[in-house]
């Protein structure tokens, strides 16, 4: 039998402790109590612990977390200090950084949203939550119940219907959408043979001859079905009385008409006699919709019904109700001011059957709009969180003004902080405190005191902007609408193009500090400054909605006007007086970089990729529509290769990208103006008008079938040969 002597025992114990410690260390998380100063080149457990803590705060090191203070960590440390302290070399992480990191992680843990959200288990649990919310935010809920709400607005993988070979178009355009293969509703659709066009409003054109008024042409508001190809047989086949945005499900011969309060389905197997199949009515507001894999996705908003809080009826079909019960709604992780239900539905377009549904409680609308983005895997809903003026002011006073304000004022604010009062009551109390304080000074001193307070408030708000101004991000599985995650990001998003999913990560462009001008936020003190302090960031979140990378401080003092993410690149335009056009390298999601910047007059509110090296920007310069062609082949030095100032003050593309049409084959694009419609060429990287087209009524859309371009207005359709740009046909609409 082997004898264990003291040396062998020591070796065994050491080996066991070493293995056990190493294994345990591989399992540990950030330990704030064991943070200590470290420097570049060190290799020990303290470095690894610091990495774990930095990772928890949102500063990452890729997929490998070792115990070395290496180049990768140096970059993260530089980014960490830069976000609050300024530029440093990153070779030392000291006590100042440790204290800041502890505060940051503590703040994050307080505000962190529970990722494992669950649905309400019963009506009792749902009503209990609403009762607690009503007690905590009674004034907010009463006010929002009196508000009137406005609507918020937003190519399938198709099988082309069989058409006789002699009449089969070789190609045709589809609605301009954000994600290829996911269709979005618009007023015009085509299957390469017929055009489906929905107009709104009634038009009558007339001329007065002496005492008589003679009508020249007229049309009624309806949805028109037009045989469009071959052009020799162009003819208006049928009218449908309902109007709205359209979806065309070609594989099933279904036309969907989407209105603000209903959705209607027509069988168009015989286009001359469309047959109504089903109809669903909305009880709330339509936020947006999508069509993917022959299924319709609807996102609705509905205010809570005081009398039937747990009997929510977003949809109705004839006399039957389609309800969303309490147990279909996900429970927020904390008590929030809520008075709306956001509901998501998947609908079978053949029979109107609800395939799946989900619901969420939403905070009051005045804090900003809800934005929806859909990828081929997930549905994302993002909306701003509430900003409480009293919280911002109280935190600023207690954290940054103790050496400026007298102890008597600080004591009153300390007491106010812990009082369970309504938000408006806290604001009034703060106003009274400051009025009392300012009255102790002579009139000529008040301006000096106010300026000092303003500077302190502003500095504090700047340092905390990303903590005060946040949005909530919800992620749903598009197959069954189950919740896959909830996250938070600093700032608010502009529109659906602000979000993009790529390689299981979600990229988001946000503006911080623009929701409310800070001088209005701190209205209790007579500030004189009107400084713009907004910031613009890009955040990359992993599939669990954890922030893994970011680019911050783009366009300081400006706000985002347009965003476009294309594979591992990002393009952002910010604006206040000039138009910075930024190019981002997002190939490493843990370490995204700003690679190029171009400053030019005006701004672009819509960005459209022509190919991998060229981006088209459409916006304004002064009071005119501006078109820019950007060469982005060298990401470090973007170039505005060509620019055209259009003699128009507006184009529908500025707020509805569905109106844009690009035809790469002929290197042209279509822009509707207020006075005319325009066909532009971008051949040889030069923007040039190929055709200006006038019509009796404004041309709203353009499509192409084969090499023919159809320009569609409420009164007619004008057809051009794209090879010659000659007009070849015109159809007056009835």
Residue identified by tokens 């300012």 is: 438
Could you tell me the pTM of the whole model?
A: 0.79
Q: Is 158 or 273 the better-scoring residue by pLDDT?
A: 273
For residue 566 the two structure tokens come to: 């294309």
Q: How far apart are CA 189 and CA 194, in angstroms?
A: 9
pLDDT at 697: 86
**pLDDT for res 201:** 52
| pLDDT score at 313 | 84
Dihedral sign from CA coordinates of 273, 275, 280, 281 = positive
Are 723 and 707 in contact, with CB atoms under 8 Å apart?
yes
8 pLDDT exceeds 80?
no
Residue that has been written with the tokens 């299957």 in this structure: 191
Residue pLDDT, tens place only, 601-658: 999 999 999 999 999 999 999 999 999 999 999 999 999 999 999 999 999 999 999 9
pLDDT on residue 312 = 80
Mean pLDDT check: name the lowest of 161-165, 266-270, 431-435: 161-165
Stretch (H or E) spanning 462 = helix 443-468
Which has more pLDDT, 123 or 338? 123
Question: CB–CB of 653/618 below 8 Å?
Answer: yes
| Residue 274 contacts residue 266 (beta carbons within 8 Å) | yes
Per-residue pLDDT at 24 exceeds 60: no
* Predicted local distance difference test score (pLDDT) of residue 536: 95
SS3 category, 4: coil
The whole-angstrom separation of Cα 629 and Cα 229 is 33
Contact 542, 508 (CB under 8 A): no
Is the predicted pLDDT of residue 208 greater than 90, yes or no?
Answer: no
Interval 287-310 mean pLDDT: 86
| Position 158 confidence tier, pLDDT thresholds 50, 70, 90 | very low
Place of tokens 């935190």: 395
- Containing 603, the helix (H) or strand (E) segment is strand 603-611
- Helices 389-400 and 407-417: angle between axes, nearest 10 degrees: 140
Average pLDDT rounded to a whole number, residues 407-413: 90
Instruction: Give whichever of 47-61, 272-286, 514-528 has the largest mean pLDDT.
Output: 272-286
Q: Regarding predicted confidence, which is higher, 166 or 87?
A: 87
**By 3-state DSSP, what share of the chain in percent is helix, strand and coil, each rounded to 5?**
25, 40, 35
Q: What does the pLDDT read at residue 284?
A: 81
**What pLDDT is recorded for position 425?**
81
Alpha carbon distance 126, 331 (integer Å): 8
- 30 versus 352: the higher-pLDDT residue is 352
Distance CA 547, CA 589 (A): 10
Q: What is the pLDDT of residue 109?
A: 62
Terminal-residue alpha carbon distance, the chain: 105
Superfamily of domain 6-111 in CATH is PGBD-like superfamily/PGBD (1.10.101.10)
Mean pLDDT across 379-400 = 85
Q: How confident is the model at residue 504 (pLDDT cuts 50, 70, 90)?
A: very high
Burial class from Cβ neighbours inside 10 Å (0-12, 13-18, 19+) for residue 650 reads middle
Greater model confidence, 279 or 31 = 279
Average pLDDT over residues 321-327: 83
Contact 281/300 with Cβ under 8 angstroms?
no
pLDDT at residue number 107: 65
CA distance 55 to 546: 10
Contact between residue 292 and residue 183 where contact means Cβ atoms under 8 Å apart: yes
Rg (CA), the chain: 30
**CA-to-CA separations, 99 to 88, 104, 166, 466, 725, in angstroms, rounded:** 17, 9, 76, 19, 68
Q: Per residue in 567-582, pLDDT tens?
A: 999 999 998 877 799 9
Q: Please tell me the predicted confidence (pLDDT) of residue 400.
A: 86
Mean per-residue pLDDT for 120-135?
81
Taking Cα atoms as reference points, which of 568, 511, 521, 571 lies closest to residue 382? 511
| Residue-level length of the chain | 734
Class of 535-732 in CATH: mainly beta
pLDDT in tens, 349-375: 999 999 999 888 876 654 457 899 999
pLDDT at 307: 65
Q: pLDDT confidence of 156, banded at 50, 70, 90?
A: very low
The rounded percent of the chain whose pLDDT value lies above 90 is 49
CA distance 249 to 491: 37
Q: Which helix (H) or strand (E) segment is 454 a member of? A: helix 443-468
Using alpha carbons, select from 575, 479, 569, 557 the residue that is nearest to residue 518: 557
pLDDT category, 671, cuts 50, 70, 90?
very high
- Between strands 371-374 and 320-325, the pairing is unpaired
Could you give the CA distance from residue 632 to residue 596 in angstroms, rounded to a whole number?
Answer: 9
Q: How many Cα atoms are found within 13 Å in the side-chain-facing hemisphere of 42? A: 18
Query: Does the structure show a pLDDT above 50 at 144?
Result: no
Q: Is the pLDDT of residue 2 over 50?
A: no
pLDDT tens-digit readout, 441-472: 887 788 788 788 888 888 888 888 888 888 88
Q: Where are the alpha helices (DSSP H) in 36-179?
A: 45-56, 71-82, 95-111, 123-136, 138-145
Q: Which residue has the higher pLDDT, 19 or 383?
A: 383
In this predicted structure, what is the pLDDT of residue 285? 87
DSSP-assigned letter for residue 649: S
Distance, CA of 423 to CA of 157 (rounded, Å) = 50
Q: Tell me, what's the pLDDT at 166? A: 45
Mean pLDDT lowest among 50-54, 106-110, 308-312, 334-338:
106-110
The pLDDT, as a whole number, for residue 271 is 96
């Amino acid at each position: 039998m082997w004898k264990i002597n003291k040396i062998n025992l020591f070796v065994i114990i050491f080996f066991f402790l070493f293995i056990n410690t190493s294994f345990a260390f591989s399992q540990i998380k950030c330990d704030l109590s064991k943070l200590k100063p470290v420097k570049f080149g060190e290799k020990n457990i303290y470095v690894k612990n610091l990495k774990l803590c930095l990772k928890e705060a949102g500063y990452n090191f890729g997929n490998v977390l070792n115990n070395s203070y290496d180049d990768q960590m140096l970059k993260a440390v530089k980014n960490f200090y830069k976000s609050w302290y300024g530029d440093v070399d990153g070779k030392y992480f000291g006590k100042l950084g440790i204290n800041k990191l502890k505060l940051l992680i503590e703040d994050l843990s307080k505000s962190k949203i529970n990722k494992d959200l669950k649905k309400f288990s019963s009506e009792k649990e749902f009503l209990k939550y609403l009762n607690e919310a009503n007690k905590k935010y009674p004034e907010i809920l009463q006010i929002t119940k009196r508000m009137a709400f406005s609507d918020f607005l937003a190519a399938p993988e198709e099988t082309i219907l069989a058409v006789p070979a002699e009449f089969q178009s070789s190609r045709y355009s589809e609605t301009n959408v954000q994600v290829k293969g996911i269709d979005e509703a618009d007023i015009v659709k085509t299957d390469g043979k017929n055009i489906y066009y929905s107009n709104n409003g009634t038009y009558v054109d007339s001329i007065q001859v002496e005492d008589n008024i003679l009508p020249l042409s007229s049309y009624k508001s309806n949805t028109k079905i037009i045989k469009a190809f071959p052009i020799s047989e162009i003819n208006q086949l049928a009218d449908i009385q309902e109007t709205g945005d359209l979806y065309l499900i070609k594989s099933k011969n279904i036309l969907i008409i989407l209105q603000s309060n209903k959705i209607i389905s027509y069988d168009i197997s015989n286009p001359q006699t469309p047959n109504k199949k089903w109809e669903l009515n909305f009880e709330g507001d339509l936020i947006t919709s999508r069509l993917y894999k022959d299924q319709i996705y609807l996102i609705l908003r509905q205010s809570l019904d005081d009398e039937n809080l747990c009997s929510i009826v977003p949809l109705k079909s004839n006399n039957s109700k389609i309800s969303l019960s309490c147990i279909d709604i996900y429970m927020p992780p904390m008590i929030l001011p809520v008075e709306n239900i956001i509901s998501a539905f998947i609908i079978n377009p053949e029979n109107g059957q609800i395939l799946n549904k989900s619901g969420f409680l939403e905070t009051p609308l005045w804090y900003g709009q809800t934005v929806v983005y859909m990828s081929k895997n997930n549905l994302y809903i993002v909306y701003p969180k509430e900003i409480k003026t009293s919280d911002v002011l109280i935190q600023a006073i207690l954290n940054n003004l103790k050496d400026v304000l007298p102890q008597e004022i600080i004591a009153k604010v300390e007491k106010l902080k812990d009082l369970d009062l309504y938000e408006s009551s806290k604001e009034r109390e703060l106003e009274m405190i400051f009025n009392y304080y300012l009255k102790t000074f002579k009139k000529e001193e008040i301006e000096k005191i106010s300026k000092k307070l303003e500077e302190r408030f502003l500095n504090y708000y700047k340092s905390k902007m990303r903590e005060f101004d946040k949005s909530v991000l919800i992620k749903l599985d598009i197959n069954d609408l189950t919740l896959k995650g909830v996250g938070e990001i600093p700032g608010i998003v502009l529109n659906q193009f602000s979000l993009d999913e790529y390689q299981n990560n979600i990229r988001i462009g946000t503006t911080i500090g623009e929701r409310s001008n800070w001088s209005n936020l701190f209205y209790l003190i007579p500030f004189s400054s009107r400084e713009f302090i907004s910031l613009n960031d890009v955040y990359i979140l992993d599939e669990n909605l954890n922030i893994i990378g970011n680019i911050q401080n783009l366009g300081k003092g400006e706000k985002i006007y347009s965003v476009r993410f294309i594979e591992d690149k990002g393009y952002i335009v910010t604006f206040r007086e000039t138009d910075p056009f930024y190019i981002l390298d997002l190939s490493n999601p843990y370490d995204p970089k700003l690679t190029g910047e171009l400053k030019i007059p005006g701004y672009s509110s819509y960005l459209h990729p022509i190919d991998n090296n060229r981006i088209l920007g459409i916006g304004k310069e002064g009071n005119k529509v501006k078109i820019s062609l950007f060469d982005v082949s060298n990401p470090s030095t973007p170039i505005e290769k060509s620019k055209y100032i259009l003699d128009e003050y507006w184009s529908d593309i500025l707020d509805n990208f569905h109106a844009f049409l690009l035809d790469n084959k002929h290197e042209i694009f279509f822009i509707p103006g207020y006075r005319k419609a325009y066909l532009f060429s971008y051949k040889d990287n030069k923007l040039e008008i190929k055709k200006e087209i006038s019509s009796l009524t404004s041309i709203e859309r353009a499509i192409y079938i084969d090499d023919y371009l159809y320009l569609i207005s409420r009164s007619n359709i004008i057809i051009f040969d794209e090879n010659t740009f000659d007009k070849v046909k015109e159809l007056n609409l009835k």
